[in-house]
């Protein structure tokens, strides 16, 4: 209460709180080598960790085929989370399936589980089940030759790079093109021209009457006293047309 006897109005919070969101998306469509996510459902994760994990497990159990429960942290709304999912369409399919594999492994590690999972080589997804041994995981798959079998443990982290490398390895292993651990079915490398933009900072001293006079005369009368190369950036990449 205030001195006037009126209850003050509640403070309005204009900012949007960031949180975790679950996005159910279908990743079966591949366009120009990239997975195009189709968003089916979006909801905010509960603040209670157990409740949030239980809801995620329920969503995962309801998914079929290429449908996937994606988790986005620090999203500010359902529309923002959905936009982040659609933005993954800009990620090449090889990188996107590694993201899915990493998420599958992390889902079990967050629960402290240990066991074997079957990862589909085509898209990095799984059936969501944890098996006691590799043979059990293999026997449960409708097409076991198209899966990779991973031992999951909270003590064994899998980074995105590790997932991508492993999926690439088992892909070529399925081609039966591995020779001493090196795939032989890759296309021959081509030569590219890479144009690099580089900034160089050069310092001069010059005797002058004013800043404008110094600007006009530093090249002719100035003395270079320092030189430093700034950050570089790639300006363009194109095929070398002069290659044989």
Phi, psi of 102 (to 5 degrees): -60, -40
Average pLDDT estimate for 205-231: 85
State the Cα–Cα distance between residues 171 and 146, nearest whole angstrom.
9
Contact (Cβ atoms closer than 8 angstroms) between residue 150 and residue 120: no
pLDDT digit string (tens) for 177-194?
Answer: 666 666 566 555 567 777
Closest CA to 70 of 108, 103, 34, 113: 103
Is pLDDT at 3 greater than 70 in this prediction? no
pLDDT digit string (tens) for 60-110?
Answer: 888 876 677 777 656 788 888 888 777 765 556 667 788 888 888 888 888
Which residue is it, tokens 């905010």?
A: 44
Stated as kind and residue range, the H or E segment containing 224 is: strand 223-239
Helix count (H) and strand count (E) of the chain? Answer: 6, 11
Residue 171 three-state SS: helix
pLDDT cut 70: percent of the chain above it: 72
Contact (Cβ atoms closer than 8 angstroms) between residue 21 and residue 75: yes
pLDDT digit string (tens) for 7-26?
Answer: 665 555 555 667 788 888 88
Is pLDDT at 48 greater than 60 in this prediction? yes
Task: Kindly indicate the confidence band of residue 139, based on its pLDDT and cuts at 50, 70 and 90.
Answer: very high
State the Cα–Cα distance between residues 231 and 126, nearest whole angstrom.
42
Task: Kindly indicate the confidence band of residue 230, based on its pLDDT and cuts at 50, 70 and 90.
Answer: low
Is pLDDT at 1 greater than 50 in this prediction? no
Contact (Cβ atoms closer than 8 angstroms) between residue 17 and residue 30: no
């Amino acid at each position: 209460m205030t001195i006037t006897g009126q209850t003050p109005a509640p403070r309005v919070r204009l900012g949007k709180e960031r949180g975790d969101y679950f996005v159910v998306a279908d990743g079966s469509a591949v366009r120009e080598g990239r997975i195009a996510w189709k968003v089916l459902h979006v909801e905010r994760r509960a603040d209670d960790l157990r409740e949030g994990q239980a809801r995620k497990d329920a969503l995962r159990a309801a998914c079929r085929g290429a449908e996937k429960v994606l988790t986005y942290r620090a999203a500010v709304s359902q529309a923002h989370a959905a936009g982040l999912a659609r933005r993954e369409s800009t990620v090449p399919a090889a990188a996107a399936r590694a993201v899915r594999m990493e998420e599958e492994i992390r889902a079990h590690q967050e629960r402290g589980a240990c066991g074997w999972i079957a990862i589909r080589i085509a898209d990095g997804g799984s059936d969501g089940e944890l098996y006691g041994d590799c043979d059990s995981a293999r026997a449960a798959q409708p097409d076991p030759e198209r899966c990779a079998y991973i031992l999951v443990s909270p003590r064994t982290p899998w980074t995105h790079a590790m997932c991508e490398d492993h999926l690439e390895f088992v892909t070529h292993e399925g081609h039966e093109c591995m020779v001493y651990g090196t795939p032989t079915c890759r296309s021959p490398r081509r030569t590219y021209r890479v144009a690099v933009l580089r900034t160089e900072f050069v310092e001069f001293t010059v005797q002058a009457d004013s800043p404008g006079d110094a600007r006009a005369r530093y090249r002719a009368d100035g003395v270079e006293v320092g030189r430093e190369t700034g950050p570089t950036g790639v300006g363009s990449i194109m095929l070398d047309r002069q290659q044989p």
